[in-house]
Amino acid sequence: MTVPELPEVQALVDFLGGRIVGRVVTDVELGSIAVLKTFDPPPDGLLGSPVDGVSRHGKFIDVDVDGTHLVFHLARAGWLRWFDQVPSTRVRPGKSPIALRVRLDDGAGFDLTEAGTRKGLAAYVVRDPEEVGGIASLGPDPLADEFTREAFGEVLAGRRQQIKGVLRDQTIIAGIGNAYSDEILHAAKLSPFAIAATLTEEQVDTLYEALRRVLKHAVDVATGKPAAELKDAKRAGMAVHGRAGEKCPVCGDVVREVSFADSSLQYCATCQTGGKPLADRRMSRLLR
């Protein structure tokens, strides 16, 4: 399953921002009580107020409604469905994949939906986004101007962790997940098992350049696309992630996979590991 990461989340922020800023929230309907992780302010505290802005914190989307924030994280199976005209029927709790619906004064609005039985989608209504624990603990944004090569080197220094895990850890760097960490490491020609602290200065240079280039390109590709098209666009843009058994677009070798209980990584042995396949047993501590 394709999990939304920084590029898709940024595209959703841009998509929503162009449609809801200036509109007034007229209703918030809960299809799942469990999706709402806060109780003060209540969702009704958003009603009758205008949307002032939409922004991103890592993988979190923040809708600023006159100083009260609706923050949500789409997790593994969540998504946003936009309506130019929201259906008139009200959401019935537990009767559909709809977790939350927001209605606006022009009749438009959006649903937050989640497929499957493993529920991870989370919504918060807060006065300050920093009240959301996941936001308060975020590392730096990798596309921020202040995330320089020097800052990246400081992030990696002394970390005796596999680089794949470092890139995915939201408390170290915000917004990168399983898919784009695979893509970044492939572009940098680095093994996902490489230990962060042992990378040479040249390897750090290459990794930093690949990180910025891959993410910026993905944001550029996603920008302007409707929410409904973003997942397919993400899949289509992947060089190795989700392409086990296919040919590496760089060297033509087969793309290989290391599997876990609930996830997997993909890589090219020729490009990244000197032609040597990676062993699953070395991944025991990578995913938590």
Q: What is the pLDDT of residues 93-110, one digit of tens each?
A: 877 899 999 999 999 999
Tally: H helices and E strands in the chain: 8, 10
pLDDT > 70 fraction of the chain, expressed in percent and rounded: 96
The pTM (predicted TM-score) of the whole model is 0.93
Helix (H, G, I), strand (E, B) or coil at 266: strand
Predicted pLDDT of residue 2: 66
Please tell me the number of Cα atoms within 13 Å of 3 on its side-chain side.
20
DSSP H or E segment with residue 43: none
How far is residue 56's CA from residue 234's CA, in Å, rounded to a whole number? Answer: 18
- For the record, the structure tokens of 31 come out as 């299809």
State yes or no: pLDDT of 114 exceeds 70: yes
Residue 196 pLDDT exceeds 90: yes
> Considering the chain, what is the average pLDDT of its residues?
94
Residue 153 pLDDT: 97
pLDDT of residue 286: 45
pLDDT at 115: 84
pLDDT one-digit tens code per residue, 12-69: 999 999 999 999 999 999 999 899 999 999 999 999 999 999 999 999 999 999 999 9
* Residue 92: pLDDT band with limits 50, 70, 90: confident
Select from 112, 110, 125, 128 the least CA-distant residue to 26. Answer: 110
Q: Transcribe 198-249 into DSSP letters.
A: G--HHHHHHHHHHHHHHHHHHHHHHTT--GGGHHHHHHHT-SSTT-TTSBPT
Rounded-to-integer distance, Cα 216 and Cα 125, Å = 30
SS3 136: helix
Amino acid at 257: E
